[in-house]
């Protein structure tokens, strides 16, 4: 991690802080809770002024991005700040790569589509993932055999403590499966402002994961391209996952658990249909959706909280569910999977 500079002199930007604002339209679950205070920022200067004006510890600040990876369980008694840092800029280019700096407030899928249009390869397998760019390194988003760490170059983030902008490299972020230093080590210590991705001019196609090859065949694709792979991923995700604009959800609610090969052998003998994938470290990654479905939760509904009919990994709000309703359902699912398989599931969604 490198400290960039005391990047600005706080100008009289007169940031507007609103009172008692509903966050329903700012989270994809559509949970209706109130934020005691709410404000927006579009650059580091505005963020710095907000924090200076607020005079409260970082733990009472809540950064809102696309709202696609959070579950709001109660009114927020602090300042919710909407990250609206925008911009897509090429910052470096050579014969093989192109480095693109993207504002944390940019919509992730729209950025992917921008890359597809410019033939910048590396993020096509990550098409249609909801949320904003700022969340991508925070949880090392991934899908269909690709992760952010594969294309990540650096990011800039504002430090609550030092009141400065710092640069994080790939090694600094300590990426893991849906993990980074921003979820553990530096939780509530930084605000991501922009992310730089190193994309490829010559694509390295990745079609071996999931149903991509079958979908490409179904599409009648004769010659591979990042455009074709992106569309295949969009088709697959659209068929399996509910649109948050129609049914409130945050995508995959749980992580796929990792267990030892020995434990998998025991489970495989007891449950011959269990779904697992070999990992480079010799462990096995289980399909959390399969485990949940075997426990009878797929399609379950209690009031307006439920488990999606097409994908057991997705918890949904059919309309008026409270965040606590969704959370309590997730607790029951965790317990039942533990009892049946002896496997501990972990939530991917952040609980607020």
Catalytically active residues, by annotation: 178, 252, 348
Q: If you search the block for the tokens 């309309």, which residue do you land on?
A: 319
DSSP state of 24: G
Taking CA atoms, 168 is separated from 171, 249, 265, in Å, by 8, 31, 40
What are the backbone dihedrals phi and psi of residue 170, each rounded to the nearest 5 degrees, phi first? -55, -45
β-sheet bridge partners, residue 249: 316
Helices (H), ranges, 255-300: 261-270, 288-294
CA 33 to chain CA mean position, Å? 21
Other Cβ atoms closer than 10 A to 208: 9
Separation in Å, CA 142 to CA 21, 111, 127, 168, 348 = 32, 15, 10, 20, 12
């Amino acid at each position: 991690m490198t400290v960039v500079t005391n990047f600005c002199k706080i100008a009289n930007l007169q940031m507007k802080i609103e009172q008692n604002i509903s966050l329903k339209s700012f989270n994809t679950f559509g949970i209706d809770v109130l934020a005691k205070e709410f404000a927006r920022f579009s650059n580091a200067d505005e963020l710095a002024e907000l924090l200076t004006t607020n005079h409260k510890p970082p733990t009472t600040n809540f950064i809102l991005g696309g709202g696609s990876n959070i579950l709001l369980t109660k009114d927020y008694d602090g300042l919710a700040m909407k990250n609206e840092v925008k911009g897509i800029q090429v910052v470096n280019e050579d014969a093989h790569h192109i480095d693109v700096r993207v504002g944390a407030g940019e919509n992730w899928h729209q950025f992917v589509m921008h890359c597809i249009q410019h033939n910048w390869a590396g993020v096509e397998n990550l098409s249609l993932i909801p949320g904003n760019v700022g969340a991508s390194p925070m949880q090392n988003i991934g899908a269909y055999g690709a992760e952010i760490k594969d294309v990540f170059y650096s990011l800039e983030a504002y430090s609550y403590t030092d009141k400065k902008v710092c640069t994080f490299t790939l090694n600094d972020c300590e990426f893991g499966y849906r993990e980074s230093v921003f979820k553990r080590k530096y939780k509530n210590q930084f605000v991501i402002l922009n992310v730089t991705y190193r994309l490829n001019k010559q694509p390295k196609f990745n079609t071996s994961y999931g149903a991509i090859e079958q979908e490409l065949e179904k599409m009648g694709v004769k010659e591979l391209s990042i455009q074709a792979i992106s569309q295949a991923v969009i088709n697959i995700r659209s068929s399996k996952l509910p649109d948050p604009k129609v049914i409130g959800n945050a995508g995959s609610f749980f992580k796929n658990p990792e267990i030892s090969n020995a434990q998998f052998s025991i489970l495989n003998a007891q449950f011959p249909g269990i779904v697992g994938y070999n990992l480079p470290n010799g462990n096995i990654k289980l399909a959390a959706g399969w485990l949940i479905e075997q426990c009878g939760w797929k399609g379950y509904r209690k009031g307006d909280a439920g488990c999606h009919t097409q994908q057991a990994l997705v918890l949904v709000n059919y309309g008026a569910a409270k965040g606590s309703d969704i959370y309590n359902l997730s607790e029951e699912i965790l317990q039942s999977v533990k009892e049946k398989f002896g496997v501990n599931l972990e939530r991917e969604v952040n609980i607020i």
